[in-house]
Amino acid sequence: MSRGARFVDPILAVTVGLFIGILVSWWIAPNTKVDSTPAGLHPAYQEEYRLLVATSYGISHNLDRARSRLSLLNDIDQAKALINLALKIRSGQFISSIFPAIKDVVVYDLAFLAYDLELPPPTPELESAGTSRPTGMLPTRTYLPFTLLSRQAVCNEFSRDTLARIQVKDSLEQQIPDLEILVTWEGGQQRFFTGFKPEMGMGYADFIMDPGIIYTIQIPPPNLALIGLKAPDCQSNDGTIYTGGVLLVFQQP
Amino acid sequence: MPRWVKFLLFLLLGLMIGLIYGWWIDPVRITDTSPWMLGAEYQTEMVLMVAEIYNSSLDLDFATNTLTILFMQSPGNVLDQAVRRAREKGYSPEDILSLQTLSGAYKAIFPGEFP
């Protein structure tokens, strides 16, 4: 036997054995006894899991536990994942099999868990003094009346949009997600919620105003009515008049 | 040593390496699973969440439907297993009580399921 041929047999045998071993361990008899974690769930079940965590949190207000449960999903941004789910539910992109008749409160729970997850943890000084608030009893849960903090025209010569941009904050300057806003005008009305454009802020919402129409904005409850809102006139550099948008900031006192 | 014996030994060596690699080093990863395929502790946690919701809403239909959809078996069995595991794993008395309350409510409505 030549020197080269002496190595051919072992290499060939090991390669064939390796191939058979991989074939058996991956396809014929895989080791499937590995316990699966929630991160391995099908995406639809992961959403159901988030719904359960948020709904449970809405009852227990145990933020540490909710955070711990969500951590099993290995989300990079837990709050964002919750808001995305709320948006998908609102837009009808996701229909839960365990909450088939999605109630507003479920979306509310998602939004508030997302909001609470984003809050800074209480400081040790506050804890030791016994003055820290239990989570879930934040002022945003009890709706205080809102006041219109500012109202300004938004004139963008390039986009020339007529958006009414609304920002809603609590008394701690934190933006409030999933807050229902009612807009009415002669012959129509529209309801929408803050937080559907997270890139603009969790307390942000907007709607397109038609030129010449007068709108009333209400934030329930208790209702604050901003009456007589109208798309403002703006002037471009060349002197032409166009319709612009507004920025409204509401805040709890 | 005959040539075929050497071949067979090397074949077995390759086979062992392949099996070790495929079973332990890089085993088949289970993805896109269903809740009933979760590890026992995670299943218990999900059942506990359903129990927490039940204890607030007292909506037994919701609880039983949810458990059936998630775990593809009788809610009674799921709850019994969850209570047992919660005890074994040292869950808090409140958690165990939550699970027992739902389990008790289910058994009261479906007594025939239990011997």
A79-127 pLDDT per residue, tens: 889 988 988 887 778 888 888 765 667 888 888 888 888 876 555 444 3
How many contacts does A have with B, using Cβ atoms within 8 A?
146
Query: A138 falls in which pLDDT band (50, 70, 90)?
Result: very low
Tokens in use for A251?
Answer: 């805040």
Is cis: bond before B93, omega within 30 of 0?
Answer: no
Q: What is the pLDDT of residue A145?
A: 62
Q: Do B38 and A98 touch (CB under 8 A)?
A: no
Task: Kindly give the pairing relationship between strand A163-169 and strand A204-208.
Answer: antiparallel
Residue A223 has pLDDT above 60, yes or no: no
Confidence of residue A128 (pLDDT cuts 50, 70, 90): very low
Give the pLDDT of residue A220.
Answer: 63
Q: What SS3 class is residue A251? A: strand
Mean pLDDT of A218-246: 77
pLDDT at A140: 37
Q: What is the ipTM of this complex?
A: 0.81
Confidence of residue A34 (pLDDT cuts 50, 70, 90): low
- The two most distant CA atoms of chain B are separated, in Å, by 77
Average pLDDT over chain A, rounded to whole? 79
pLDDT at A15: 94
The greatest distance separating any two alpha carbons of chain A, rounded to the nearest whole angstrom, comes to 100
Check CB contact under 8 Å for B14 and A22. Answer: no
Q: Which residue has the tokens 């995305």?
A: A84
Lowest mean pLDDT among A44-48, A98-102, A214-218, B49-53: A98-102
Residues of B in Cβ contact (< 8 Å) with A32 = 28, 30
Q: How far apart, in Å, do the first and last CA atoms of chain B sit? A: 66
Specify burial of residue A56 (Cβ count, 10 A radius: 0-12, 13-18, 19+).
Answer: buried
CB < 8 Å from A in window 35-94 of B: 35, 37-40, 42, 45-46, 49-50, 52-53, 55-56, 62, 65-66, 69-70
For the cut 60, the answer to whether the pLDDT of residue A135 exceeds it is no
Dihedral-angle region of residue A178 (phi above 0 means left; psi in -120 to 50 means alpha; beta otherwise): left
Chain A residue with minimum CA distance to B13:
A14
Residue B45 DSSP symbol: H
pLDDT at A33 over 50: yes
pLDDT bin (cut points 50, 70, 90) of residue A137 is very low
Whether the CB of B34 is below 8 Å from some CB of chain A: the reply is: yes
Of chain A, the percentage scoring pLDDT greater than 90 comes to 20
Q: What is the mean pLDDT of residues A144-153?
A: 75
Give whole-number Cα distances, B27 to A25, A32, A41, A43, A231, in Å. 8, 8, 17, 22, 62
- Amino acid symbol at A30: P
Please provide the size of chain A in residues: 253
Phi, psi (deg, nearest 5) at residue A109: -60, -40
Report how far residue A6's alpha carbon sits from residue A13's, in angstroms, rounded to the nearest whole number: 12
A127: part of which helix (H) or strand (E)? helix A124-129
Which residues of A fall within a CB distance of 8 Å from B97? none
- Check residue A75 and give its pLDDT: 92
Nearest to B24 by CA among A140, A48, A22, A250: A22
Closest Cα partner for A88 from A76, A106, A113?
A106
pLDDT score of A219 more than 80: no
Per residue of chain B (115 residues), what is the pLDDT tens digit?
A: 788 888 999 999 999 999 999 998 988 877 788 898 888 999 999 999 999 999 988 889 989 999 999 998 899 999 999 999 999 999 999 999 999 999 999 988 877 665 5
Paired tokens of B96: 């165990």
